[in-house]
Each structure stands twice: as structure tokens, then as C-alpha cells.
């Protein structure tokens, strides 16, 4: 994977990876620590915790990226309540 904002050539086309939802090092570390605590805080599984956290966060972001976006209707409700259109 390329660093955010970097571009690569693929078959003559340039593709940007800046739109990918990649978890940060800090987010992975936080989730890995949560997993570590959930399994009782025993040493020896740090790498497994890290990979599990990275996979979980990446898959979550990919799912979120593919879900249809819904428009926020709050401004319309507020305008309707104020009697404006």
C-alpha cells in the first residue's frame, strides 16, 4: 500500500490511494490494546492482537465506504419548523 496521497501507475493510468480509509498507527495500537485487555492482559499475543486490530479496523472502514450515504434532513426540519422553504 502506498502512503496517503501517493500515486502509482497502472497500465498507463495514474491511481491515487488518497481515498482509501486506512487506520492510523494510533488507532491500531488503541484497538490492539483493547484486544489485549479482553484476553486477560497476558503477554505473548501482541503481534496477533496487532494484526487482529488492523484487520478489524480496515474491514470496518471498507464496509463504511461501500454503504450508501444518507442525507442529513436536519436543515430541512429546522426550516420547516421556522416556516421557511
Residue 78: inside a domain: no
Distance of CA 74 to the CA centre of its chain: 25
Residue 9 in any domain: the answer is no
Q: What is the pLDDT of residue 10?
A: 45
pLDDT tens track for 55-75: 999 999 888 877 776 665 555
Per-residue pLDDT of the chain (85 residues; tens, 9 = 90+): 555 555 554 454 444 455 567 899 999 999 999 999 999 999 999 999 999 999 999 999 888 877 776 665 555 555 556 665 5
> Does 4 fall in a domain?
no
String of DSSP letters for the chain = -PPTT-EEEETTEEEE-TTS-PPPHHHHHHHHHHHHHHTTS-TT-HHHHHHHHHHHHHHHHHHHHHSPP----HHHHHHHHTT--
Residue 16 lies in a domain: no
Domain membership of residue 32 (yes or no) is yes
Q: What pLDDT score was predicted for residue 63?
A: 85
Any domain includes 42: yes
Structural domain boundaries enclosing 39? 21-64
pLDDT at 67: 76
Amino acid at each position: 500500500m502506498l502512503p496517503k496521497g501517493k500515486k502509482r501507475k497502472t497500465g498507463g493510468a495514474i491511481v491515487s490511494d488518497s481515498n482509501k480509509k486506512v487506520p492510523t498507527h494510533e488507532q491500531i495500537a488503541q484497538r490492539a490494546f483493547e484486544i489485549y485487555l479482553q484476553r486477560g492482559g497476558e503477554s505473548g499475543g501482541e503481534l496477533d492482537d496487532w494484526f487482529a486490530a488492523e484487520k478489524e479496523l480496515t474491514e470496518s472502514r471498507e464496509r463504511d465506504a461501500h454503504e450508501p450515504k444518507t442525507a442529513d434532513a436536519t436543515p430541512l426540519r429546522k426550516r420547516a419548523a421556522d416556516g421557511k422553504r
